[in-house]
A and B are shown apart, each in its own frame.
Chain A
Amino acid sequence: MAESDDMPEGARPATSVAASRRGFLRRAALLSGGAAATRYVHAANSASDDAPPGVPDWSRTLGAPILASPYGVPSRHEASVQRRQSPGLTRTPHSSVAFTPLQNLFGIITPSGLHFERHHAGVPDIDPERHRLLIHGLVRDPRVFTMEDITRYPSVSRIHFIECGANTGMEWGNVAVPTVQYTHGMLGCSEWTGVPLATLLDDVGIDRARARFVLAEGADGASLTRTVPIEMAQDDVLVVYGQNGEMLRPEQGYPLRLLVPGVQGVSSVKWLRRIKVGDAPWNTREESIHYTDLMPGGVSRQYTWIQEAKSVITSPSGGQVLLDRGYQAITGLAWSGRGRVRRVDVSTDGGRNWRTAQLQEPVLAKALTRFRIDWRWDGAPALLQSRVIDETGYVQPSIRALRAVRGSRSIYHNNAIQTWHVDPSGEVTNVQTL
């Protein structure tokens, strides 16, 4: 133990571990010679010997010290879990989308770094000390707020999903993409922290007789604008700076964004710089050319804010392989922009017969709800579907029912039941049934 006395104070525990290992090696060397002992130890390091009776490398060495990564990153073995873009979907990465890997997530919270990205002019690098929010229009006291001002207000934290209005938009006419990341991955759910917009509107004194809508505007190059009805603005809309316990990520609107629960994602304007109170909707570019739902006959539905109830099985799902017959846990996500999930049913035979799944608590309004159900796969082909019923009694429609009303050209608000086909080989693929 003499060496350990020479070590710096902080290194002692580590050294004593090393010393005892040396003690083991010395004993081994006495028996069979140093070189042989070294080979013995190295042989135990091959991957197949990590399970007992082998003892893996990580049990024989020191781990990384503290602060190896001061903010923390996922294990390097998780490299397959990433946001991804759908090749060919957009022309420029500055006005594009990266999808959440739903197939790899647990529970209902989307890690902030995996929450889908959608930008219209790239991600601005905003200095929070220089950021300002202007609230004006039909108000008594138009005011400019710093982040310091905003964070002084009483805050609330709430769990809500954000789903892009175009989620599943590539699948209106036929299947187009292979995995749930691309079919449903413009979806995330976080605990958001911020100030109720109603608090700020109260504080600037809105003209209640005339106020009917508010306009939210971003501080990015696109300065994207969306109209929000005053009923929502005064109900549960938040001006958000926190996401899952940390400040918003830059790609989620750092340092300030709007959060309009249950409404298509584009309304939750990121990098929020301005709220204007008005008496008529604004018919902005993202409310006329885009984010309007083209119906058969050529008329477009405008201001289609609400995200209606929707669900999807995330495992097993497209692009995966079942490795064994027998017991499988089917699991997925359900949500409704109109409130809570009441029930989720699952079919393994393409919608002929259904069983009701278990809902994982908590079941929150306008938040993702995790469901699961047991299944025994006998190796025969199967068609997996989930169907949500929300607290209003609304039943998630089939693609057939949806197309009968809306045709197949509307891009937005495809909340149809998703079907995954399980091949006897175990391979799962994206299909549609009629």
Chain B
Amino acid sequence: MCRRSSARVAASAAAFACALAVADLPWGAEAGARSTPSFGFGKPATAAQIRAWDIDVRPDGAGLPDGRGTVAQGQALYDVKCASCHGTFGESTDYMVLAGGVGTLGSDAPLRTTGSKLNYATTLFDYIRRAMPFAAPKSLSDDEVYALTAYVLNLNDILPADAALDRQSILQVKMPNRDGFTTAHGMMRRDGKPDTAEIACMADCVAQVRLSSEMPDYARDSHGNLAEQTRPLGVVEGVDTSRPAGLSAAPAGTRAAKTVRASLSPADLVKSLACTTCHSTTARVVGPAFRDVAQKYAGDASAESRLVAKIHEGGGGVWGATAMPPQPQVRDADARSIVQWILGGAR
């Protein structure tokens, strides 16, 4: 009981006292207070297992490994492993921009870069170690990660060219945006205070409604033809953005009949038409295998039209005593497609 409530409302003073009381006990003594049974599934994690996966680094330095790397070493690595995406000077906007932008975050055109936005160099170390290079993450040694961190900081004029980083010196780095973050907002907690307080007015709420932004005509098909992006049934259809505005929509009330009919592949047709009840590709079932049919009529120019007719009208006596029933329901185009596929080896 005490455990559960302390978990749910840790902020309340009573719950806090409760949590302290529990913590004073040896953990083994807690078992009697459990509201859920102890399952004990899983295996104890060994020190080696934890060490291998415990790669996170915090701003206070917790998690930083031993090791050392210089700006010069970092540059050599960077030019080989990083510059193709990030640019020679960390300037490429194709991927995360690494350098520049300091002082722009308060402007109308903020440039978010590693140099301008990041608050702690430890986070840069953490990220390179876990996720970079993009196509070969976790391939760098800790020395290499220190070196690359140093070089990226050097690209931002935060470290001089002769600098080196290790677990002590990285904590001395002060990023330009160290103080650029706040947790004074209502979105850290479920009961946090929102930053807007609108009133749900119901009638005559606005004197005049002004359109402040519309999609420009040139962007009409920027996301492809929207007619193909909405299900073509229901009370709405997708706008045909391959045509200019105004021409795209049928006048209201003149909905056109849709005649689009998708085609199945021959292999799917023989299944959907149940041909495969009696025929298979390689083995005789009731009727001959498709491959045997292909072999029999190889080089026979008239076979296609004769076999199409045979599908529609049925036949018998060629492959044995059992006659093939007529299949007049098969569309001409489908029958021709099936026959061509069979004669081609049913592949």
Contact = CB atoms under 8 A, between A and B. Distances in A.
A181 B224 CA distance: 13
Size range of the chain B interface in the assembly:
35 or more
B89 to A, nearest CB: 18
Contact of A306 (B39, B189, B237): B189
A98 B322 CA distance: 54
Contact of B55 (A15, A41, A223, A401): A223
B319 to A, nearest CB: 13
B32 to A, nearest CB: 13
Given A276-B54, A288-B120, A302-B181, A354 B203 contact: yes
Given A18-B325, A209-B23, A306-B187, A292 B181 contact: yes
Given A38-B328, A144-B42, A234-B7, A62 B127 contact: no
Contacts of B347: none
Given A304-B188, A397-B196, A217 B56 contact: yes
Contacts of B229: 80, 82, 84, 101, 103, 179, 181, 319
Interface stretch (B110-118, B160-168, B289-297): B110-118
B318 interface: no
A426 B194 CA distance: 37
A64 B181 contact: no
A335 interface: no
Contacts of B126: 225, 284-285
Contacts of A249: none
A321 B236 contact: yes
Contacts of B277: 7-8, 11, 14-15
A38 B42 contact: no
B313 A38 contact: yes
Interface string B12-46: 00000001101100010010001010111111110
Contacts of B157: none
A320 B230 contact: yes
A56 to B, nearest CB: 11
A198 interface: yes
Interface string B260-276: 01101000000111101
A316 B313 CA distance: 49
Contacts of A161: none
Interface in A239-276: 262, 273-274, 276
A401 B206 CA distance: 14
Contact of B328 (A41, A150, A396): A41
Contacts of A178: 215, 219-220, 222-223, 226, 241
A178 B191 CA distance: 34
Interface stretch (A86-94, A109-117, A186-194): A86-94
24 contacts: A18-B325, A62-B272, A84-B224, A87-B223, A91-B94, A134-B50, A135-B42, A136-B50, A146-B42, A198-B7, A202-B34, A207-B27, A208-B7, A282-B56, A283-B119, A301-B182, A320-B237, A350-B206, A352-B205, A405-B196, A421-B211, A425-B248, A425-B252, A427-B248
Q: Which 5 A-B pairs have the closest CB atoms?
A: A298-B106, A209-B23, A234-B7, A350-B209, A298-B105
